[in-house]
Amino acid sequence: MAMGIDVVVALVGVLLALISQKPLHRIEEGSVGVYWRGGRLLNVTSTPGYHLQWPILTTHSNVQGRTVRNYSMRFEKLWIEDVTYHEINLLCSKFSLDQVYISHFDQLDELLQARMSALLAVWAPGLDIISIRLTKPHVPEALRDTYELIDQEKAKLLAQRNVVKQAETDFRTAVLASEKAAALSLIHMEKLHEQVLASQHISRIQDQMTVSRAKETADATFCTLNNNARAKCVVAAHVDGNLDKATLETKSFLAKLTPAYLAYLRATAGQTNIRYYFGANIPQGFVDSAADVVGVPDDLPVPGRRDGH
């Protein structure tokens, strides 16, 4: 029973292997099918359509036969040689001699290959242009010498342009370096300016603090001196308060003895103090000044009195 299962599995594996090799294949229109068996090319060919082949043992390939059938065995002359001459003539008619010989010569290979590949893809499928290399065209000796000189001058001009570009690059580099140095210097100067401003601000604050301290010291000294002076005044006033009241009253009274006040007293005295005397003791004289009555010394200054009178 187990052996029968193994046989079935082996047959299924072989069948799957045969199916994976696609024994049924297709040959495209315009192509011919050729076959290889064990690496040997068979003499058998097939026409376009579906065909069968031995799996694993036989392989096939599509060979383009439309070009040969349409253009015979000389198809390369029609679609390679003639087309190449035709395209070269078109390029030469389109470009000038300077472009063909110097300026655009390095582009002619790729341009010719692209034009021929596009043409063959439409009219001769199966033909592919792998690469094209053109040589310098033959020109008269005088023209060749002229163009060689032009080519040399062009090389010199290109070298000069490279030198100019290098000089411009160096100049830009120097400008960038100088701008960078200037920017760094500006940043450094701004930093120094900020430091100077900060130091000035600190100095102003310190000066204000010094002035404030000096002012506070002066105010304190002034208050101390003022308080001392007031205390001395109070003491002096207290000492003066012990003076003789009589002297103070005398000075106050003498301050009133101005000439005008004395004239006023004389004018009113005759009316208020009229006395009548009878008998033998009638006064024989009158006092001219009140100072003679109170006995004021002559050296005591009296307000309003001039020259001791």
Measured CA to CA, the distance from residue 134 to residue 87 in angstroms comes to 12
- Count of structural domains within the chain: 3
Same domain, 57 and 80: no
- Identify the domain boundary among 103, 138, 173: 138
What integer pLDDT is reported at residue 239 of this predicted model?
57
What integer pLDDT is reported at residue 19 of this predicted model?
60
280 lies in some domain = no
What integer pLDDT is reported at residue 296 of this predicted model?
43
What integer pLDDT is reported at residue 73 of this predicted model?
64
**Could you list the mean pLDDT of each consecutive 10-residue stretch along the chain, which spans 309 residues?**
66 64 73 82 82 77 72 76 86 81 82 88 81 80 78 87 92 92 91 91 90 84 77 64 58 69 71 60 54 46 44
Same domain, 58 and 82: no
What integer pLDDT is reported at residue 132 of this predicted model?
86
Same domain, 106 and 130: yes
Measured CA to CA, the distance from residue 16 to residue 11 in angstroms comes to 9
What integer pLDDT is reported at residue 304 of this predicted model?
43
152 lies in some domain = no
- Identify the domain boundary among 93, 120, 138: 138
293 lies in some domain = yes
What secondary structure, in 3-state letters, does 91-134 show? Answer: HHHHCCHHHHHHHCHHHHHHHHHHHHHHHHHHHCCCCCCCCCCC
56 lies in some domain = yes
24 lies in some domain = yes
- Identify the domain boundary among 96, 113, 138: 138
230 lies in some domain = no
112 lies in some domain = yes
Which pTM value belongs to this model?
0.34
Q: Phi, psi (5° rounding) for residue 263?
A: -65, -40
Same domain, 254 and 305: yes
197 lies in some domain = no
Same domain, 114 and 133: yes
- Residue 49, domain extent: 17-64
